[in-house]
Structure 1
Amino acid sequence: MTATQALAIGAAVTFVWLGMVLAISFLEAPLKFRAPGVTTKIGLGIGRLVFRALNMVEAVLATVLLSVMAVETVASGLPPAGAVTPAAVAVVTLVVQLAVVRPRLARRSDRVLAGRDAPRSKGHHAYVALEVVKVVALVVTGVMLLAS
């Protein structure tokens, strides 16, 4: 794989990842609770499945992105200009979401799905804030890869 091919693949992966986050986190997730007949339990059940799948795909895309950036670095001797830091921010943000925020949200949704009351979660606000950080990082990464 040439450096140019690595950059093109990296940009494509970045924008696919960005599109998935925007579509699911900022479109599907809030809209599902507005659909007729969707209870909190049903919405949480759907959300858990959808976000589990999204996060698995995100982990694969993050791995591919880091791999093609490493190939670019080896092929050209330099990392893609300006893309390393925002890519790292996106990957670290995903790791924080998976390792810190998602387990807390899962514990709360377990209680709700079991029919117990659970206080409103601030974890959702943290998750959304991290999604915003990730979106910005992915936009910058993609633009910088295209500009390289």
Structure 2
Amino acid sequence: MSTSSSVTAAAAFVWLGMVLAISFLEAPLKFRAPGVTVRLGLRIGRIVFRALNVAEVLLLVAAAVSVAVSVSGAGAPGPVLVPVVALAVLLAAQLLVLRPRLNRRSDRVLAGEDLPRSREHLVYVAAEVVKVGLLVALGVGALSGAG
């Protein structure tokens, strides 16, 4: 396995672990903890997801650079090139479209409005599910030697 494949796989699986731990474990559980109100949970969530998003961008850069290095040496490795490009598009959509909408909504909740569950939240969760699949595909593709 090449160094670029190792870096790609490591970035994919570290990122995957972070998404699973935060999006699918921490985020829903914090609202079940005694004493955690919706407002407090939203404030905590903003901090946690801001940190996650910074880490995601750094891991995407690491994966993209390692894939680019492998592409420049051996041609376009589809099993890693397609997922890394799809992850870049998906993360950009989350950061530039979905997160700002969710932040505006949470601003309203923090200001005291009582709002129903949002569609944007469900879209964000769906995007996280897709992201998990793409990260698995990227990591497996890299381990198979394509990256």
For residues 77 and 62 of structure 2, the distance between their equivalents in structure 1, rounded to whole angstroms, comes to 15
Percent identity over paired residues: 55
* Structure 2 residue ranges without an equivalent (≥5): none
Query: What's the offset of the Cα at 1:119?
Result: 3.4
Task: Give the match for residue 143 of structure 2.
Answer: 146
For residues 80 and 5 of structure 1, the distance between their equivalents in structure 2, rounded to whole angstroms, comes to 15
Moved >2 Å (runs of 4+): 116-120
* Structure 1 residue ranges without an equivalent (≥5): none
TM-score using structure 2 length: 0.94
Pairing 1:1-148 to 2, within 5 Å after superposition: 4-74=2-72, 76-148=73-145
Residues 35-76 of structure 1: per-residue CA shift (max 9 Å, x gap): 0000000000000000011001101110111011111112x2
* Structure 1 letter corresponding to 2:71: T
* Structure 1 letter corresponding to 2:31: F
TM-score using structure 1 length: 0.93
Query: What's the offset of the Cα at 1:113?
Result: 1.0
For residues 83 and 9 of structure 1, the distance between their equivalents in structure 2, rounded to whole angstroms, comes to 12
Residues 80-120 of structure 1: per-residue CA shift (max 9 Å, x gap): 34111112112211111111111110001001112223332
The answer (yes or no) to whether the contact 1:33–1:40 under 8 Å persists in 2 is: yes
Q: Which has the higher contact order (CA 8 A, sep 6+)?
A: 2
Number of residue-to-residue matches in the alignment = 145
